[in-house]
C-alpha cells in the first residue's frame, strides 16, 4: 500500500477550507488522518470526507501532533501565529494567506510554472500559494515567457466576492435580495454596496495610490516568474460575481509574438484551456470557470498600439486554482518528491 499522510486543514469552515476538503477527496490525495481545525464558532459541526463524518476542532498550538502537512487558509494572523507550532510538531505548512509569500526564504509556487521551487521548502518548512489574482495570470504569462522575455504587463481584474471569504458571498446574496425587493442594501464587508456595483478597491490603499492587492500582483508575479525587472501595473476591481475572477491583460514582450503563436503556446501549456471563438461568442467567463481547475484564456489579439504587444482575457475559479487546488497540487509535489 502506498504511503499515507496526515493532513490538517486550518480554516476548514471558510470558503477556501471547504474547497480544500472537496479537492482533497476529488484528487484522491493519500490522506491518512484528516484533522479539521477552525474557530470556536464551528465547534460541534462536522464535515463529511469520503463518507466519514469528522468533527471540527478548535485551532490551538497543540493541534498539529503527528500532522505531516498543514494546509492553512484562516488568514494572515493565524498563519503567522500557528505555522510555527505546526512546524515544531513536524509538519510542513502550505499556506494560502499572504503571511509568507514575499519571504525570500519561502518558495511561492504555482506548480505549472515553478514546481522546482518546492525543493526550497526545507528553508522554513513553509510553502506559500500566491493570491488568486496572481495565480491565474502567471500560467499564460509563463507560456509567453518561454519564448520571449516579458517587458511590461498592464492588468485589470474583475474579482468575485468569494475572494473576500464566505461572509462576502453572504453579503452579495443578501444585498441583491434587499435591492430587488425595494429595500436599502446594508454593507458590512465592503465600504459600499457591492450588489449591482463595481468597487475599484480591493484591500487597503498604500502610499503610492495602489492597493495592497494590486501591489501583491506586482511582487508575487515577479517572484514566481523569476524576473524582478518586469514592469507591472495593476488595477483590481471587485465585481458582483459570486465565484470566478476575470482579468484583462496587456503584455509587452521583447520578441514579437503573434496572436496565432500565443494561442498555440496557450493551447499546449498545462492548466490552460483556450476558449477563443469570437464568431460564436466564445470567450472565458466566470460562470464557466467556476467549479473547474483550468484557467480559461481567450480574446487573444495583438495590441493595435504596440509592435510587440498582446491582449487577452483570463477567467478562473479563485477558490479552486486560485487557492485550494494550487495548495493541494503543491502538497502532491511534496509527497511525490520530498516527504
Ligand X SMILES: NC(=O)c1ccc[n+]([C@@H]2O[C@H](COP(=O)([O-])OP(=O)(O)OC[C@H]3O[C@@H](n4cnc5c(N)ncnc54)[C@H](OP(=O)(O)O)[C@@H]3O)[C@@H](O)[C@H]2O)c1
Residues in contact with ligand X by CB under 6 A are: 11, 13-17, 38-39, 41, 59, 73-76, 78, 96-97, 131-132, 162-163, 165-166, 318-319, 322-323
Q: CB of residue 135 vs ligand X: minimum separation in angstroms?
A: 8
Nearer to ligand X, 212 or 227 (CB): 212
User: Which cell goes with 54?
Assistant: 469528522
Residue 298 CB coordination number (10 Å): 21
Q: CB of residue 127 vs ligand X: minimum separation in angstroms?
A: 14
Nearer to ligand X, 96 or 329 (CB): 96
Pairing relationship of beta strands 295-302 and 150-159 according to DSSP bridges: unpaired
214: CB partners within 8 A, 6+ apart:
202, 234, 235, 236
Report DSSP letters for 79-129, one per residue. HHHHHHHHHHTTPEEEE-SSSSTT-TTS-B--HHHHGGGGGGGGGTSEEEP
Question: What crossing angle do the helices spanning 325-333 and 15-26 adopt, rounded to 10°?
Answer: 50
Pairing relationship of beta strands 150-159 and 245-253 according to DSSP bridges: antiparallel
The answer to whether the CB of 221 falls within 8 A of the CB of 293 is no
- C-alpha 133/C-alpha 148 separation (Å) is 23
Nearer to ligand X, 17 or 309 (CB): 17
Q: CB of residue 214 vs ligand X: minimum separation in angstroms?
A: 15
Q: Is 33 left (phi over 0), alpha (psi -120 to 50) or beta?
A: beta
Q: Considering just the CA atoms, what is the radius of gyration of the chain in Å? A: 20
Nearer to ligand X, 131 or 284 (CB): 131
Active centre residues (catalytic): 132, 245
Q: CB of residue 170 vs ligand X: minimum separation in angstroms?
A: 10
Q: CB of residue 178 vs ligand X: minimum separation in angstroms?
A: 22
User: Which cell goes with 39?
Assistant: 474557530
Nearer to ligand X, 99 or 257 (CB): 99
Amino acid at each position: 500500500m502506498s504511503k499515507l499522510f496526515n493532513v490538517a486543514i486550518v480554516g476548514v469552515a471558510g470558503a477556501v477550507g471547504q474547497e480544500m476538503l472537496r479537492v482533497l477527496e476529488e484528487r484522491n490525495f493519500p490522506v491518512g488522518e484528516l484533522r479539521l481545525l477552525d474557530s470556536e464558532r464551528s465547534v460541534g459541526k462536522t464535515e463529511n470526507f469520503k463518507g466519514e463524518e469528522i468533527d471540527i476542532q478548535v485551532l490551538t498550538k497543540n493541534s498539529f501532533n503527528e500532522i505531516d502537512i498543514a494546509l492553512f487558509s484562516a488568514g494572515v494572523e493565524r498563519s503567522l501565529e500557528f505555522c510555527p507550532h505546526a512546524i515544531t510538531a513536524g509538519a510542513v505548512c502550505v499556506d494560502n494567506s499572504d503571511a509568507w509569500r514575499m519571504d525570500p526564504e519561502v518558495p511561492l509556487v504555482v506548480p505549472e510554472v515553478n514546481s522546482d521551487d518546492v525543493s526550497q521548502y526545507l528553508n522554513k518548512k513553509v510553502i506559500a500559494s500566491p493570491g488568486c489574482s496572481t495565480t491565474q495570470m502567471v500560467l499564460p504569462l509563463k507560456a509567453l515567457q518561454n519564448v520571449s522575455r516579458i517587458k511590461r504587463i498592464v492588468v485589470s481584474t474583475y474579482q468575485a466576492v468569494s475572494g473576500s471569504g464566505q461572509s462576502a458571498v453572504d453579503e452579495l446574496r443578501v444585498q441583491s435580495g434587499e435591492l430587488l425587493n425595494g429595500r436599502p442594501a446594508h454593507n458590512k464587508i465592503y465600504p459600499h454596496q457591492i450588489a449591482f456595483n463595481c468597487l475599484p478597491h480591493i484591500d487597503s490603499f498604500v502610499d503610492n495610490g495602489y492597493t495592497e492587492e494590486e501591489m501583491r500582483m506586482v511582487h508575487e508575479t515577479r517572484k514566481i516568474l523569476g524576473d524582478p525587472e518586469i514592469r507591472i501595473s495593476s488595477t483590481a476591481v471587485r465585481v458582483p460575481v459570486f465565484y470566478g475572477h476575470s482579468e484583462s491583460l496587456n503584455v509587452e514582450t521583447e520578441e514579437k509574438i503573434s496572436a496565432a503563436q500565443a494561442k498555440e503556446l496557450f493551447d499546449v501549456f498545462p492548466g490552460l484551456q483556450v476558449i477563443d471563438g469570437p464568431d460564436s461568442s466564445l470567450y472565458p467567463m466566470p460562470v464557466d470557470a467556476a467549479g473547474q481547475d483550468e484557467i480559461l484564456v481567450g480574446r487573444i489579439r495583438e495590441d493595435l498600439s504596440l509592435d510587440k504587444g498582446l491582449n487577452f482575457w483570463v477567467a478562473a475559479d479563485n477558490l479552486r486554482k486560485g487557492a485550494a487546488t494550487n495548495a493541494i497540487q503543491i502538497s502532491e509535489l511534496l509527497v511525490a518528491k520530498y516527504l
